[in-house]
Amino acid sequence: MKGKKVDLILHNANIICLDDINTTGEAIAIKDGKIVEIGPERQILNKYRAEEINDVKGREIVPTFYNSFLELDSEVNFSYLRKMEIKHLEQGFTEVFVHNITYNQLQILLKFSTKMELVWHVNLTPSSNNISFTRNYKFKKTSKLQIQGFTLSKNELKEISEACAVAKSKNLQIGINFKEVKSYLSTILKTLNDYKKDHRWYVFNLDDNDINSLKKLEENNFFILLNESNHINRPLFVFGTYQSSNSIFLNLSNYTKNNRLDYIKSLKSISNWASYLSFTEVEFGTLQKGKYANFSILETPISTTSNYNAIYSNATYIKGKKIYSME
């Protein structure tokens, strides 16, 4: 038989890789859960053979999405978590990002973490219990519950300082709700300013008129969440989705026609930009050789012409295995 053996080939596709050079392709070859090659259909079909070869009928294949903004109910249980995971899979999301997790919510998430199907990335409130937990927690990269760090919002200065110190010692993330803690900004930056390790700090709810604070944040390697007044040099747009009770929408409601995100940036805002924020860009977030084959086959392209656009996945794959299908 001709060609190199792989596990799966998908062809007759419009593959949008979302890498730095905007690579596209017509077919993808996958082996052992990772991408072997993406390229023209004839090239892939001639070069590789597989027991499973699927025609996706011209649909778009894009990296799976991170739900970048999810508020948990006060009562969190396994039934609720499973419902949320199914909703995410139906719409092409395989990673969940949640911030402002209370200590009680964290304990429930920990209880059910071994039963989770998706990976949950959480930022904690800087309460004394959460700070103590994080200080003593042994982090595992393989866990379905990833403690990313803290979101600073409506807290006392003592808690904020302690949270920054713990994040610094553990190589974790800090998120700043700027409007609520901007009076503490100097203390926050002083605590973090000699931290030389790789980090993914971010700030949102910015006062765009406070240019001096924006400059200080940029100088200290904070990523500014992209907003409608996008004059900032180093934007990182991650809060790109909105959830109703039944659907997840790409949220463009903050953008006017003059500064609306284009299609590629809209996809990036809930895929590789969000994966970068969660420290997983080496393995996920774009479709490239050697990365895990986490992708969604979109039922229809996402529209960026209106404020809220529902996302529907025809099929969702994690590490080359189909875990959801509309059909």
pLDDT of residue 128: 95
pLDDT confidence of residue 193: 76
Kindly list the domain boundaries of the chain, sorted by start residue. 4-63+286-325, 65-277
Query: Which has the higher per-residue pLDDT, 271 or 260?
Result: 271
Q: What pLDDT does residue 274 have? A: 83
| Average pLDDT of span 289-311 | 88
CA–CA distance, 48 with 42 (Å, rounded to integer): 10
Q: What confidence tens digit (pLDDT) does each residue in 145-192 have?
A: 999 999 998 888 999 999 999 998 888 889 888 889 988 988 888 888
- The CATH T-level fold of domain 4-63+286-325 is Urease, subunit C; domain 1 (2.30.40)
| CB-CB neighbours of 107 under 10 Å | 12
Cβ within 8 Å of residue 174, ≥6 positions away: 149, 150, 152, 163, 164, 167, 188, 192, 199, 201, 202
Which CATH architecture group holds 65-277?
A: Alpha-Beta Barrel (3.20)
pLDDT of 40 = 97
pLDDT of 66 reads 86
Cα maximum dimension of the chain: 69
DSSP string, 82-143: HHHHHHHHHTTEEEEEEEEE-HHHHHHHHHHGGG-SSEEEEEE---HHHHHHHHH----TT-
Note the pLDDT of residue 302: 84
The strand pair at 93-101 and 65-67 is best described as parallel
pLDDT the model gives residue 126: 95
Sorting pLDDT into bands at 50, 70 and 90, what band is 196?
A: low
Task: Give me the mean pLDDT over the 127-156 stretch.
Answer: 92
**What does the pLDDT read at residue 151?**
93
Which two tokens mark 257? 């026609």
Q: Which pLDDT score is estimated for 210?
A: 72
| Residue 255 pLDDT class (50, 70, 90 cuts) | low
201-251 per-position pLDDT tens digit: 888 877 667 777 777 887 777 777 655 444 444 445 555 677 766 777 777
Task: Report how far apart, in Å, the C-alpha atoms of 164 and of each of 135, 145, 175 are.
Answer: 11, 21, 10
Give 183's DSSP letter.
Answer: G
Pairing of strands 241-243, 4-5: unpaired
Q: Can you give the pLDDT at residue 231?
A: 42
CA distance 3 to 191: 57
Q: Which pTM value belongs to this model?
A: 0.87
Q: Check whether 68 has a pLDDT greater than 80.
A: no
Mean pLDDT of the chain: 86
pLDDT-based confidence at 279, cuts 50/70/90? confident
